[in-house]
Amino acid sequence: MEFSTPLVPARLLRRYKRFLADAVLEDGREITAHCANPGAMLGLKDPGLRIWLEPNDDPKRKLKYSWKLAELPGGHFAGIDTSLPNRLVKDALAAKAIAELAAYDQIRPEVKYGTGSRVDFLCTQPGLPDLYLEVKNAHLRRDSSAAEFPDCVTARGAKHLGELVQMRAQGHRAVLLYLVQRSDCDRLKIAHDLDPAYGAACQAAAAAGVEMLAYGTHISPKGIAVAGPLPVSTAP
């Protein structure tokens, strides 16, 4: 997936009110950008961080920039926009780029299931069990080369795990796919210390037969694409 408009570099001043960020462009102008990320963004919101913004000239939009990437040491990047993983996974499913799920041809997004929820994707194929797929964005990295999820307490995430367990108990396939939106990680682990309830729910779901997958991403200021599979650990 290529960005619709070429990104421009800036320096982060601050991220605040969850969805706003102030930054300085290379020409010295200070601007406010939309930050499409409700998470804690640990390690990705430090003042002075070099970031990449997508400009727009849509008269209906109040903010003329959207924060898309954070630049990391060693030429790496992290994707900030948490609305992108579902779009990326949808494209990857259509392209048969996720080997574990490539047998399914019918892919329907946002299908009602569970208790007042919508599963990210319901995949069906004659002769195969229905596949309920939830996608989670992961871009936290702390003291190792592992990406971690979650980066803050997520009651919604634990609820989704419980609903996947229900689908598995009904004889369907149930999959949780963590899309790692940063290019400097080689595996995915659960951040039990940041949300013990989610950690426990994740272990219970895995024991009940919910499949845990993680895939990396190729990231540059030109665009983001799903890369290869990464190992997943649900242990504390």
The predicted-structure confidence for 2-30, as pLDDT tens digits, reads as follows 999 999 999 999 999 989 999 999 999 99
pLDDT for the residue 221? 97
The whole-angstrom separation of Cα 46 and Cα 1 is 27
The whole-angstrom separation of Cα 222 and Cα 220 is 5
pLDDT for the residue 58? 87
Closest among 179, 187, 94 to 145, alpha carbons compared: 187
Residues 6+ apart with CB under 8 A from 118: 110, 111, 112
Provide the angle, in degrees to the nearest 10, between the axes of the packed helices 196-207 and 155-169.
10
Average pLDDT over residues 207-236: 97
Strand partners, 42: none
Closest among 78, 51, 45, 43 to 182, alpha carbons compared: 78
Does the pLDDT of residue 176 top 90, yes or no?
Answer: yes
Strand partners, 131: 123, 173
Does the pLDDT of residue 164 top 90, yes or no?
Answer: yes
Indicate the average pLDDT of the chain.
Answer: 97
pLDDT for the residue 146? 97
SS3 (DSSP) at 23: strand
110-159 per-position pLDDT tens digit: 999 988 899 999 999 999 999 999 999 999 999 899 999 999 999 999 99
* Structural domains in the chain, sorted by start: 8-79 (2.40.50.580), 84-233 (3.40.1350.60)
Residue 161 neighbours by CB distance under 10 Å = 24
